[in-house]
Amino acid sequence: MKLNVLKDYPLSGLTTFKIGGAARFYIKAESPGGVCESVELAKRHGIPFYVLGGGSNLLVSDRGYDGLVVHIANTESDTATDGENVYKTCGAGVVWDSFVSECVGENLFGVECLSGIPGTVGASPVQNIGAYGQSVESLIHEVVAVDTADGNTVRFSNAQCNFSYRKSLFNSEAFGKYIIISVKFALKRVGKPSVRYHDLEKYFLKDTDVTLQEIRTAVLKIREHKGMLQMDGYRGFKCAGSFFKNPVVSGGHFDEIAGVLNVAAPNRNWYWPQSDAEVKVSAAFLIDNCFGKGFRKGRVGLAPNHTLAIVNYDDATFSEVIDFAKLIEDTVYERFKVTLDREIQILQ
């Protein structure tokens, strides 16, 4: 296979932040074989490489990347069924929301609340993406990846992916070791649309007799209102969606946070008790109490309707975004003693 290697390729246009310099080398890999050959080429010449999907969770340095960017673009798909389940296998380069739209159109249950999430299918198991009460950990049947050490193809069952909140094998202990080339999802023909999340309950006034398409439409409208949608025809911002993860704290720490906020915890939808005496706290709620929605500093700021999104308002630089993020992190820690972990990846 002949690889088309491009030099000094601009990366800003490949990210939703629209920030960053150029890659020293760039290859668009449109097949699993192209992925393997790209990695082999980089290793043969001693060049560092980075695997790029939809660029929706990435902030690139203004200096760019002094290595090879392998842009995953394989979009082969397949559907099979065993009667109860429908199995859809998608190439890592498939646009995530196109996959969701297809499933909703076929009346398959399980991904309707994940509408509007930017990026590609290949990123979904890495971050264990989730929204509005659903996450991919309950849907993924198998992940196929390339081992960057030897170029062999490896298959991972759901259990082997080690899923937890916004975490998996692929972004923790095995970070950088595997390149995902396809994901197999198990979806249900029969089910009930998920209206468990507060925003959806509010949207439907707790009327759960709704269709999958109505759920998808509602999620897209909610995400658009928050400025978290990166789709043509909708209002959006130059950002990477949620910049921070929701922190999980001990029960005692949660009581301290509630005391600082001076709120009656049961009356506010800003926390979610976990099964092991811990509490997941809304990072957006903490940030909102420190700064308020739409807070700006120069060319960078928070989205006007959602404080988890840091927005490039006017051709901001990489350093400006990082400095702004640090201001958010330091202020939240100073007030609540909560460390905010970044959800985005940084390439520099």
- Active site includes 138? no
Specify burial of residue 44 (Cβ count, 10 A radius: 0-12, 13-18, 19+): exposed
Catalytic-role residue among 24, 31, 101, 166: 166
166 is catalytic: yes
SS3 315: coil
- Told to judge if 242 belongs to the known catalytic residues of this protein, a careful annotator would answer yes
pLDDT value, residue 83: 78
pLDDT the model gives residue 241: 87
Q: How does DSSP assign 8-62, residue by residue? A: EEE-GGGSSS----EEEEEEEE-SHHHHHHHHHHHHHTT--EEEESSSTTEEE-T
- Point out the catalytic residue in the list 135, 242, 320, 329: 242
Tokens standing for residue 53: 């999907």
Q: Which domains occur in the chain, in start order?
A: 6-72 (3.30.43.10), 77-226 (3.30.465.10), 248-347 (3.90.78.10)
- Which residues does residue 78 pair with via DSSP β-bridges, in sequence order? 89
Residue matched to tokens 């049947």: 141
Q: What is the mean pLDDT of each run of 10 residues along the chain (348 residues)?
A: 91 96 97 92 94 94 97 94 91 96 95 92 93 91 94 94 92 92 94 71 67 90 81 82 93 93 67 89 94 95 92 96 98 97 94
pLDDT tens figures, 136-184: 999 999 999 999 988 889 999 999 999 998 899 999 999 889 999 999 9
Per-residue pLDDT at 306: 87
pLDDT (0 to 100) of residue 191 = 79
Q: What is the pLDDT of residue 307?
A: 92
| Cα 6 → chain centroid | 27
Do residues 150 and 36 lie in contact, with contact meaning Cβ atoms separated by under 8 Å?
A: no
**Residue from 102, 201, 278, 343 carrying the catalytic annotation:** 343
pLDDT tens, residue by residue, 286-314: 999 999 999 999 999 999 988 999 999 99
Q: CB-based burial of residue 18 (10 Å sphere; 0-12 exposed, 13-18 middle, 19+ buried)?
A: middle
